[in-house]
Structure 1
Amino acid sequence: MKLAIGADHAGYPLKEEIRGYLERLGHEVIDLGAYNTEPSDYPDFAEAVGRTLMAGRADRGILVCGSGVGVNVAANKMPGIRASMCHDTYSAHQGVEHDDMNVLVLGARIIGPALAFDLVAAYLNAKFQKQEERFVRRLNKVKAIETRYMPEAVKQEFGAGR
């Protein structure tokens, strides 16, 4: 799978561990920074991962910041991005299976590498259950909300409700 990964300075050390884990599993990783622990701004990395997904250059994304909250909020401002912070394996797979989550968000100051690896594995092994009408119906309602509030310029550039 092709994965986009990004983190701010607080998430950088955990991002590096996750990147190595993904590469060991054979995934193609697009590392969008940060590349060190110098202070940085989480919205920049959330946007970089989101834009990579919106452009179709990656299948899914992973974002890491100190708590996970900042990148989660920022990523969900982008059309077609369904990011969720997951610190338990049930949410990490259920978010994909029921809600078509395409960005896993982790808090580096909340969890450690061992749990992060379990969460990433649960996320990557999950598939959206598109055969379940209720999940498709709900996802379409989420996309309709997104389209309703999306500016026209964004609809034209990226298409509505990806």
Structure 2
Amino acid sequence: MKEVIPIGADHAGFKLKERLKQELAAMGYEPLDLGTRSEESTDYPDFAHSVASQVERGQVARGVLLCGTGLGMAYVANRHRGVRAAVAWNPEIATLARAHNDANVLVLPTRFVTD
């Protein structure tokens, strides 16, 4: 059974979310798209709560959030018990957040990451 990875994004993260879903599927994961569905303006907390709630309830082990700076998503996600959301803009930061801080939600700041 494939590991499910819930993914949530606001309008600033929509394009990268769509690409990330394909990448995760190619790596053998099952991406669960929790929105947004377009680049129309949205409220990022809605998507942060959706992903973080799944981690908090133990439905999934980890998740991914995307927004412009990553900060708002991380603030909201970290309010959930057991969630350790980390903003990471490169692989080294993501690896350190996972290894040293047991991060279980990766938050990508789409204005600051490149392919």
Classify the TM-score, shorter chain: over 0.9
Query: Is this contact kept in 1: 2:90–2:113, CA < 8 A?
Result: no
What is the identity, as a one-letter code, of the residue corresponding to 2:109?
G
SS of match in other structure, 1:10:
helix
Aligned residue runs from structure 1 range 12-161, under 5 A: 12-112=14-114, 114=115
Shift of 1:36: 0.7
Distance in 1, matches of 2:79 and 2:57, equals 16
Shift of 1:88: 2.2
Distance in 1, matches of 2:49 and 2:58, equals 14
Deviation sequence 1:31-61 (CA, Å, 0-9, x none): 1100111110011110000011112222211
What is the identity, as a one-letter code, of the residue corresponding to 1:79?
R
Distance in 2, matches of 1:58 and 1:11, equals 21
Let me know the Cα RMSD of the aligned residues: 1.0
Matched positions, count: 113
Distance in 2, matches of 1:8 and 1:25, equals 24
More helix by share: 1
Deviation sequence 1:44-98 (CA, Å, 0-9, x none): 1100000111122222111000111110111111111100101122221111112
Shift of 1:109: 1.4
Rg (Cα) greater in structure: 1
What is the identity, as a one-letter code, of the residue corresponding to 1:8?
D
More strand by share: 2
Distance in 2, matches of 1:4 and 1:59, equals 10
TM-score of the superposed pair, with normalisation by structure 1: 0.67
Q: Which runs of 4+ in 1 moved over 4 A?
A: none
Task: List alignment gaps of at least 5 residues for structure 1.
Answer: 115-162
What is the identity, as a one-letter code, of the residue corresponding to 2:113?
I
